[in-house]
Amino acid sequence: MNQNIDVPHHVNTFWQCHAGTWDTRQPQRLLIIAQRSELATIDVLETLFLLDIKHLTCVENTLIFDRQRGLIKTKLTTRQIMMNYAGRLGLSGTQLIKQLAGELGLSKHKLPVIHGDAILMPLSTAKRGTTSWYNRHYLKHIEAQGFMTALVYDGQITIQVDMSERVATRQLAKAGQLQAALQEHHRRRLVPDQSVPSMADTDHEMMQSYTDQVLKHFGILALPGEISCLTRRFFGKL
């Protein structure tokens, strides 16, 4: 299953020095080489994966796989990180996606967070708890590895997750449908309805009518074309 990706950008040398498959079932090994950050945030165009490690007996709750920054560990939970990010998106990150899923007849289970080319998807449902998230951006393809699935990203970054290829393929297809629907929704908002007069045209007609009444009140004769020319100049249409 191939994914369209952008032209590759710079990847942190960390990933070249630690080439190989990253097994998310063994987060203890990852913690040793991760860099600590107290104010960790995500960059949806560079952050590839949020690994929930809240169940471990350590102070950190999340590991962040980021193309630019490398591997980061933070006390923030994946829920806190995603709620902070989704909050910045407003309705585009939450209610609108639910609305579009309903219109398309798609399940509202495990809905993604979409922003442009980036699509962040949860590995499991976590309405009140935490879960891991993966990004479709820069995802080249996925590979079945037994009961696991390898997410192969641009930059030779492979992340092995506890999810079947069938589930991953279905989730990616659903996310693609929602992304297309979201883009169409925004496109329709930018294209004006030709059957409804624009505000500028309405203002122009009102000004022309008002000017005609004023001229008649003072007994000034003017051709309709002259009045139209005057109002068009006023609205900068010449």
The answer to whether the CB of 49 falls within 8 A of the CB of 132 is yes
Q: Residue 137: exposed, middle, or buried by beta-carbon count in 10 A (0-12, 13-18, 19+)?
A: buried
pLDDT value, residue 178: 95
Q: Are strands 47-52 and 62-66 parallel, antiparallel or unpaired?
A: antiparallel
Which amino acid belongs to residue 193? Answer: D
Average pLDDT, 10 consecutive residues per value, the chain (238 residues): 45 83 93 88 90 94 94 94 79 77 92 90 78 94 94 93 95 95 86 54 62 68 67 56
Predicted confidence at residue 62, as pLDDT, reads 96
* pLDDT computed for residue 22 by the predictor: 94
User: What is the per-residue pLDDT for 5?
Assistant: 37
pLDDT value, residue 7: 42
Q: Beta 35-36 vs 70-74: how paired, if at all?
A: parallel
pLDDT at res. 186: 84
pTM here?
A: 0.74
Residue 90 confidence (pLDDT): 62
